[in-house]
Structure 1
């Protein structure tokens, strides 16, 4: 009899164990099916928006699958109720995540170009989480929320003191959003003088990217305490001010003209509103001027300031103006000028003139022409002369190279020639009074001798051959320009006939005798 009872108990245990294993297998299978179904539905919903399920979905899917499988295979178990509470909270967060991705990220930002600040989206998500937890505690566990808050008052005070900086940052971020102080994409002028673009505004800090492509974050509480300078409000146009000191001997109007000339064609500077120059102060060794230009793209600030300062150096050099400095001791100052820029001081310029179209001049005549003419320095990329502008001088290249550009028959810009040392340009305007027929730009730093009408007129009387040579050069350039406008390749042009040279020589003599 005892042996029979023992066999019965063994058989009963086997039946119970087999039933439990079957339940577990069914629960696991049901959970996997639920996860796959949720994943398929999420992918189907997020596909039009180009989004993918994230960590919130993974957690919610696992919680919902565990609760659903447990409720089906192990109904009435205590742990199933706890899993259900977690699943409800996770489901609420999943619902908000789907709304955030489909409505705010996809519909508002992409279709309507309306940006909802990250901090507001995070605060709404926190509110949804808090509401879900409160609902589960109230309806699921029959707990009074007010009682829990009252009994944990001391702990809340302790936590509040410990998290006061964090809370201040959250309040600061909410204040930034409500006052519209700045938004993602705006450029800010920071207290240290740097300009930085707003890349993200979250619940704790603002992430910025400066002109050096360095990303950094500033706590929201620190930003709202200081002065916020938004370069994009009320419009993208904003002024940039730069100060320069010029010699007391320079008349203010001449100084202002030189500074304004240096801003022409500088990248980033707007033509409207126009740049302005103000006389700010009389310093110890210089008169201080302030240049105000207008920009639209703050990311070009460093490049724009560099180009203005660079162009101003060349402009002041050409006008024989200098930037003074305090002198403490009396000493003999030697010019710190590169050798190739100091050619005008010796006879090297006359040697350059002995070749090319001016080769018929004697050494004394060449030196005299150098003394009467003007030595000019232009920086890389500067336009020395421009097409269709008035001109009354020609230039001889003493050092460096220039590029000559014009227009073909269709109006497209073409490069006509590259000229080097000893070659000249601008002779057409000097000899005939016509407007410039091409634009000439410096390729690197270039040193030029400017020859004016008054400098050349006496030489035509002394050296009649010079008129013939200039006429030949003029006709050669005329033919080259005509070829280029029709699609020709070379600016050197064809050779002029004898009759053509004689006709141009007469025209030159008539123009210079007028």
Structure 2
């Protein structure tokens, strides 16, 4: 929502009729009273009773004042219509209007009544000085309001960041003659006098280049025993994951090692997000993503932090399944069942740009990504490979082939060097034999996830359809594992 720059102005025909009426009125005064000017046909200083000619003389000044005011407004309206970057605000026009009427009124008083400009100006100056002194803060606020609007510093709804130690964020709620009303990230409303606001050191985030939001810094201290390159890689992956999954985070980030201090590494992650999100919330979202990637990447967040290489400690890699199984189709399993599955799972390493899964191939395995990043790609009509989704650490791929034996529905490629756990039909079959109810639970997880994705694409999904799909999938799984219909 923008500041209102609507300014009253007479329609063009009426405006020009008003301008011409000044010449007609002056000509009529000359033909009727022998002068074009009102101060030549009457003198209000002789204390005579009010006459028609006095009213006519005053009327000329009123007509002239209105004409000057409307001329200024006509010019400003045309200027604002042609110029969108720098608009004359309504409050500035109001101030000019008051000034015009005051000057023309003072001139009329001098020439028709006082006849002594020096004396009236001196008196007016003294009175004006006293008024200005008494109302100095109010006047300063009004001048500040004019400056804010005429310079286009802020608009209603803008997000600003006040520079300084705190770097506080505010939303502009209202601008009036005296105050700018702002809302804090904690939803408190604060009113700041205009004279103070114009002197604040702030950044208007809403008036930056397109899609540029609030840039914030997340600081992490880690033990210097870490592989710094590995930590930066995980920070970059966490930032990219947040961008892909939360529209409030913009596609700009930078992770780097800021300094080494007393045996500790100090890392910075600078990211960009919607300024309307409080910093404590945006940092929390980033921290959750970082914790996930650090944990899956083998970083031990104890007092002494070290990076555990997957090639060195295979048992550690397998045990990470316990940290991530709830993120995918295996969430229906208990921890005991997951530990049993972990013992049977195999570790698979897929190098960057290598194909992990090929569309159309028959298989009975699924993969859980532990480290790295995968891309789901399908060919378009021109046989070009298009990336349609990304798989992040903790997520699984190929589960339908594992559960139903269906051919692969898409290609999956490693974007970076990736480590995965491979689970086969033979691995999970004993669990299904012991706990057959898991088939219904896993079918429910898969079909409900599909329904959520369809709703996100604005597709209508009826509850009866979901229940029917769950039963159909459970039937397929039973048939594939136990040859049951």
Tell me the TM-score normalised to structure 2 length.
0.49
Greater RCO (Cα-Cα under 8 Å, separation 6 or more): 2
TM normalised by structure 1 equals 0.47
